């Protein structure tokens, strides 16, 4: 990639979030704690769903892939950020920067479409509960997940092709803590107008299509819930989609704020704060949201612990 766009920049310098050594140490400890919780939470969620047969349902099939994406998403960004917070040299190679950007786009777009698939799953569960086992078949669930990864792959390839056409001459200081599109575009000595428009269209298509799907699903869900006569029935119906709605709201608010706006309104400080949320914080929050608010997950944890306890007693 470096030779194809005739760049004279061998590597980039990630400026990071803060300058002072004390603040960097505080952020290192905070981000390390968040990353450990992210890894344990998402890996634990995947393991729990695989071990408990009662969680082998479409909803938890999607949740397994969401946990995998969050774990991968965070691992693309956080380890390098942690390294830079304690290292005097904050360089990243040209290839490393664009590889990080490629996987960041791939996983981010995939998550957008996976969240849409999860919204459709909740729509069928609440609006057509009798047809749910037939509608949400294994083949449809597999197709929805495969389609999410395919859209992510196609979008990341298109994004990489756009960025590959740019030239980078002398400037190599990225005013960010990872290789995101806008800060890297700002360093190019090429005319970036067409690339910006293309990336804006790609991001807009992803966010609009996924948001329309999610909004349509939840409008139908809300309409169905309002028709339920009993308060207990409304509460039960809402509880089945509350966790997903909360996760979607946090994820999309930060993504829209960052990417669906012109580069002229780009603010380093504001975008860095938003980026910390959707790259580091949200991957940690998702397993907590889906476990703390979900009785089935809590029951599964109890069953696994009881099963392990019984197994130990038999061995003894």
Count of other CB atoms within 10 angstroms of residue 93: 13
What CATH number should be reported for the domain holding residue 181? 1.20.1070.10
List pLDDT tens digits, range 32-44. 999 999 999 999 9
pLDDT in tens, 247-303: 788 888 877 776 665 555 555 666 777 788 888 888 898 888 877 656 777 677 777
**Nearest to 34, CA basis, from 79, 96, 91:** 79
Count the Cβ atoms, other than its own, within 10 Å of residue 36.
12
Give the Cα separation of 22 and 20 in Å (integer): 5
Domain annotation covers residue 4: no
Q: Determine the structural domain holding residue 171 and report its residue range.
A: 11-315
Summarize pLDDT for 145-187 with one digit per residue, the tens.
999 999 999 999 999 999 888 888 888 898 889 998 888 888 8
For 150-174, b/e burial (b = at least 16 CB within 10 A) is ebbeebbeebbebbeebebeeebeb
Residue 133 lies in a domain: yes
Residue from 205, 184, 207, 206 nearest 195 by CA: 184
Which residues are bridge partners to 174 per DSSP? 14
Residue 172 domain-assigned (yes or no): yes
pTM: 0.87
Domains contained in the chain, number: 1
Identify whether 5 is part of a domain.
no
Nearest in space to 171 (alpha carbons), one of 154, 155, 195, 190: 190
Q: Where are the alpha helices (DSSP H) in 52-93?
A: 58-86
Domain annotation covers residue 3? no
Contacts of 9 (CB under 8 A, 6+ apart): 94, 168, 169, 170, 171, 172, 187
């Amino acid at each position: 990639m470096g030779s194809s766009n005739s760049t004279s920049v061998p590597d980039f310098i990630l400026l990071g979030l803060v300058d002072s050594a004390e603040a960097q140490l505080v952020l290192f400890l905070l981000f390390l704690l968040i990353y450990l919780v992210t890894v344990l939470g998402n890996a634990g969620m995947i393991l729990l769903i695989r071990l408990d047969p009662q969680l082998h349902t479409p909803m938890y099939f999607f949740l397994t892939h969401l946990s995998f994406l969050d774990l991968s998403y965070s691992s693309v960004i956080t380890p390098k950020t942690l390294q830079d917070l304690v290292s005097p040299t904050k360089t990243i190679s040209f290839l490393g920067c664009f590889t990080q950007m490629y996987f960041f786009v791939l996983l981010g777009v995939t998550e957008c479409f996976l969240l849409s698939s999860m919204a459709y799953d909740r729509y069928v569960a609440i609006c057509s509960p009798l047809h749910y086992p037939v509608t949400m078949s294994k083949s449809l669930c597999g197709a929805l997940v495969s389609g999410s990864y395919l859209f992510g792959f196609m979008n990341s390839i298109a994004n990489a092709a756009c960025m590959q056409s740019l030239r980078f001459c002398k400037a190599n200081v990225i005013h960010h803590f990872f290789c995101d599109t806008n800060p890297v575009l700002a360093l190019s000595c090429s005319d970036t107008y067409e690339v910006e428009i293309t990336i804006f269209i790609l991001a807009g298509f992803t966010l609009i299509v996924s948001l329309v799907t999610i909004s349509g699903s939840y409008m139908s869900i809300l309409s169905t819930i309002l028709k339920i006569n009993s308060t207990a029935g409304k509460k039960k119906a809402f509880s089945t989609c509350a966790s997903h709605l909360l996760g979607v709201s946090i994820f999309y608010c930060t993504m829209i704020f960052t990417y669906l706006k012109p580069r002229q309104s780009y603010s380093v400080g504001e975008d860095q704060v938003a980026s910390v949320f959707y790259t580091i914080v949200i991957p940690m929050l998702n397993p907590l949201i889906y476990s703390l608010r979900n009785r089935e997950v809590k029951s599964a944890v109890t069953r696994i612990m009881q099963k392990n306890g019984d197994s130990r007693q038999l061995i003894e």
